[in-house]
A and B are shown apart, each in its own frame.
Chain A
Amino acid sequence: MKRYLLPWVLALALPSFPAFAQTKGPANTAIPRGPDGKPDLTGVWQGGSTQKGSWEEANRGVGVGGSGRDPSAPLTLSSNDRPAGREGAPYQPWAAQKVMEAFNRRGIDDPTSLCLPAGLPRTVMLGLFPQQIVQTPKQIVILYEYMNVFRVIPLNEKHPDDLLPSYLGNSVARWDGDALVVDVIGFNDKTWLAGTGTFHSDALHITERYTRVDKDQINYEVTMEDPNVFTKPWTLTSTLMLREGTRLEEYVCAENNIDPERYEKLLKDGVKFTR
């Protein structure tokens, strides 16, 4: 085990020495690379942001958790926001109507209000909580603080043929040049994709591309295919920004989740909250 880890540890440590980086570095020495020459995505990252720096530096001022459409609000994307400036989701007419119903109910039906996992790509793209990528030559593990969920992503393997439907699906990855391409299937139909009400069926197929463009940034592109609800694939782009010095914390959502009870009371009392 030690022998197996040593080259990896050296590869992580040595690029910090300029001489090594120059002899080793092919195209872009600013991209940390593993012993196999592939970009190393290891680190703690913040989704939905384009700000460089530590968590504190990148989120100072107005805080964290907004979308950037309000000049006084944070620039980071939050978890059920439609990414700013992106095209609308190509839902079939009946499905678009269902999305609008959820939007008009101000997200009261959000699965995460029951402390259920936020699913993909929502969990990757939100900015309020960090995520940690741990890369090894044979598999990549991603830990998400939000809802404390994880993905174990083998490289160059096929999906198992005995998948149980799940919130984050089953992921396998391969390298396409410098881009890590992750193929995800095996979803249940209990999550929202990206934006209030963006439901899907269990036929959802997601393809993600993680391209580390420099030390600080991973470009994230995600394509969602679901013939049961979409008229064509839906592609969104976002970024993950390196947050050195940030550590993941526990997020035990069920600890004190009073919102479902409040929702029930508001509905019972006839409080008007719809758009």
Chain B
Amino acid sequence: MARRITNVGAIAFILLSAVPLMAHHSFGAEYDANKPITLTGVITKIEWTNPHSHFYLDVTDDKGKVVNWKFEGYNPAVLMRIGWKKDVMLKPGDKITVFGWQARDGGNWAHSREITLADGKKLFFGPPAGTGDGGNQPAVEVRP
């Protein structure tokens, strides 16, 4: 399975994704909205935990090397309310494709946004880029 990294045009991307927040913590401190990625792989482990859930994905690159990626997403209650069924819809061994944004340090970990399941069904697993880091507009007026 090929590892694919999709780079979107910077300006278009900023317009579309430079947004605001979630609860618990800052997107922008850990993840880079300019590093969108789409990976296909096989789930190896899932942590349905607060404040965030995580899943681990074995991704095989063009040379056949397998890399295990860690993805972060919503907590279990939020996932349940948007349609996820724990242990039913996402299990170790499942082949999925995930879109998200890579960590700032360039490591094999990322923030997940949308998962495409093996049957083609698409569901969000995490909030948009920028969530939790204050968005574009500070709470105070900025004067040049």
Bound-state CA distance A65–B47 (Å) is 20
Rounded to whole Å, the gap between the CB of A107 and the closest CB of chain B is: 4
Rounded to whole Å, the gap between the CB of A61 and the closest CB of chain B is: 10
Q: How large is the interface on B (under 10, 10 to 19, 20 to 34, 35 or more residues)?
A: 35 or more
- Of B30, B51, B78, B105, most buried by chain A (CB within 10 Å of CB) is B51
Binds A, one of B16-24, B36-44, B61-69, B89-97: B16-24
Bound-state CA distance A79–B50 (Å) is 16
Among residues 237 to 275 in chain A, which have CB atoms less than 8 Å away from a CB atom of chain B? Answer: 246, 249-253, 255-257, 259, 262-263, 266, 269, 271-273
Contact B16 A249 (CB under 8 A): no
Measured between beta carbons, the chain B residues less than 8 angstroms from A136 are none
A34 within 8 A of B: no
Bound-state CA distance A198–B54 (Å) is 29
From B51, B75, B83, B139, contact of A103 by CB (8 A): B139
A232 within 8 A of B: no
From B128, B133, B138, contact of A65 by CB (8 A): B128
Annotate B73-89 by CB proximity to A: 1 below 8 A, 0 otherwise. 01111101111000000
A217 within 8 A of B: no
Rounded to whole Å, the gap between the CB of A103 and the closest CB of chain B is: 4
A211 within 8 A of B: no
Bound-state CA distance A250–B124 (Å) is 21
From A62, A78, A272, contact of B132 by CB (8 A): A78
Binds B, one of A1-9, A21-29, A69-77, A159-167: A69-77
Among residues 77 to 132 in chain A, which have CB atoms less than 8 Å away from a CB atom of chain B? Answer: 78-82, 88-89, 91, 96, 99-100, 102-103, 105-108, 110, 112-113, 115, 118, 126, 128-129
Rounded to whole Å, the gap between the CB of A117 and the closest CB of chain B is: 11
Given that A73-B19, A253-B50, A255-B49 are known contacts, is A197 also in contact with B24, CB under 8 Å in the complex? no
Annotate B30-60 by CB proximity to A: 1 below 8 A, 0 otherwise. 1000000000000000010111101000000
Measured between beta carbons, the chain B residues less than 8 angstroms from A182 are none
B142 within 8 A of A: yes
Given contacts A82-B134, A145-B77, 19 further A-B contacts (CB under 8 A): A55-B81, A56-B82, A65-B21, A66-B128, A70-B18, A73-B19, A78-B20, A78-B131, A80-B20, A82-B138, A96-B140, A108-B29, A112-B23, A196-B139, A198-B139, A251-B75, A255-B49, A271-B105, A273-B30
Closest 5 CB pairs of A and B: A195-B139, A196-B134, A106-B28, A249-B77, A67-B20
Write 12 A-B pairs (CB below 8 A) sorted by A numbering.
Answer: A65-B21, A69-B136, A70-B18, A82-B134, A100-B140, A105-B29, A112-B23, A113-B26, A129-B77, A195-B138, A195-B139, A249-B76
Interface residues of B (CB under 8 A from A): 16-30, 47, 49-52, 54, 74-78, 80-83, 104-105, 124, 127-128, 130-142
